[in-house]
């Protein structure tokens, strides 16, 4: 869909488990454009202050320069996927964590296979009370949250937002993941969607089909809401309904 905005991906080169070279990053950039994206918030994995926002910005500028040289209509914005840790709020206050386009929104990743840290709920409360808006990426893949709408609702009630991976709706990430994602959509707990793309194939190739599945569940216009309207409000620092 033209004008789409992606809030979660691993598009930067030589910084995490995404592309190893800038050439591979450019292949992913081309695929993003072909999928309808014109704006991408880069979100490499971060934890304990590494990689630093300065390195994220450096890689982003390097890639944007090559994007412009190739004539691709794609704008990169800063961000990160911060793994939950006790000092998350303190690091934010010190500028050691890159938020989404320097807004109050941040991706706060939970452990996918282990129990949630005992401080999870209190950290979310502290983040919200200090003006931050935590977005939990791919909660449908977090083992202790799968098919647990009660736990998801409890986290949402204290201020967490949820971002579902597009591919989850197609079943490419597993049956239980798909069931959880669909249940979240029906319950109004899928607040945002994103690609979580690591390369130019696999998950990116499923977005059009996944968006069609979303329309089947939520009705006409829900695809544009999740591909364009809501993510654009996030990068502008505005509230989402």
Residue 115 three-state SS: coil
- Architecture category of domain 4-235 in CATH: Alpha-Beta Barrel (3.20)
Residue 5 three-state SS: strand
Output the six-digit token pair for 111. 């452990």
pLDDT in single tens digits along all 241 residues of the chain: 789 999 999 999 999 999 999 999 999 999 999 999 999 999 999 999 999 999 999 999 999 999 999 999 999 999 999 999 999 999 999 999 999 999 999 999 999 999 999 999 999 999 999 999 999 999 999 999 999 999 999 999 999 999 999 999 998 899 999 999 999 999 999 999 999 999 887 667 678 899 999 999 999 999 999 999 999 999 999 999 7
Cα separation, 20 vs 220, whole angstroms: 39
Output the six-digit token pair for 61. 């500028």
DSSP state of 3: T
| Domain regions of the chain by residue span | 4-235
| Beta-carbon contacts of residue 204 (< 8 Å; ≥ 6 apart) | 28, 31, 32, 35, 195, 197
Task: Return the closest-CA partner of residue 101 out of 75, 125, 138.
Answer: 75
User: What burial class does residue 23 get, using C-beta atoms within 10 Å of its C-beta: 0-12 exposed, 13-18 middle, 19+ buried?
Assistant: exposed
CA atoms within 13 A on the CB side of 178: 10
Cα separation, 53 vs 220, whole angstroms: 38
Task: Enter the pTM of the model.
Answer: 0.97
């Amino acid at each position: 869909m033209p004008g789409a905005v992606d809030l979660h991906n691993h598009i930067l080169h030589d910084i995490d488990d995404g592309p190893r070279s800038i050439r591979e990053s450019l292949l992913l950039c081309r695929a993003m454009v072909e999928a309808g994206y014109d704006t991408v918030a880069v979100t490499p994995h971060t934890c304990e202050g590494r990689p630093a926002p300065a390195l994220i910005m450096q890689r982003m500028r390097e890639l944007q320069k090559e994007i412009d040289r190739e004539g691709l209509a794609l704008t990169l914005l800063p961000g990160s996927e911060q793994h939950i840790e006790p000092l998350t709020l303190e690091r934010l206050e010190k500028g050691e964590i890159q938020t989404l386009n320097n807004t109050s929104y941040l991706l706060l990743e939970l452990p996918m296979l282990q129990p949630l840290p005992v401080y999870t709920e209190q950290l979310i409360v502290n983040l919200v009370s200090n003006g931050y808006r935590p977005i939990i990426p791919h909660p449908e893949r977090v083992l202790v949250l799968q098919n647990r709408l009660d736990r998801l609702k409890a986290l949402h009630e204290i201020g967490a937002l949820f971002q579902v991976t597009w591919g989850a709706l197609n079943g490419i990430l597993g049956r239980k993941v798909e069931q959880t994602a669909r249940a979240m959509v029906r319950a109004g707990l899928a607040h945002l969607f994103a690609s979580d793309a690591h390369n130019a194939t696999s998950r990116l190739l499923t977005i059009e089909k996944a968006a069609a599945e979303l329309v089947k569940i939520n009705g006409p216009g829900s695809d544009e809401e999740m591909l364009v309207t809501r993510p654009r409000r996030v990068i502008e620092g505005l509230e989402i309904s």
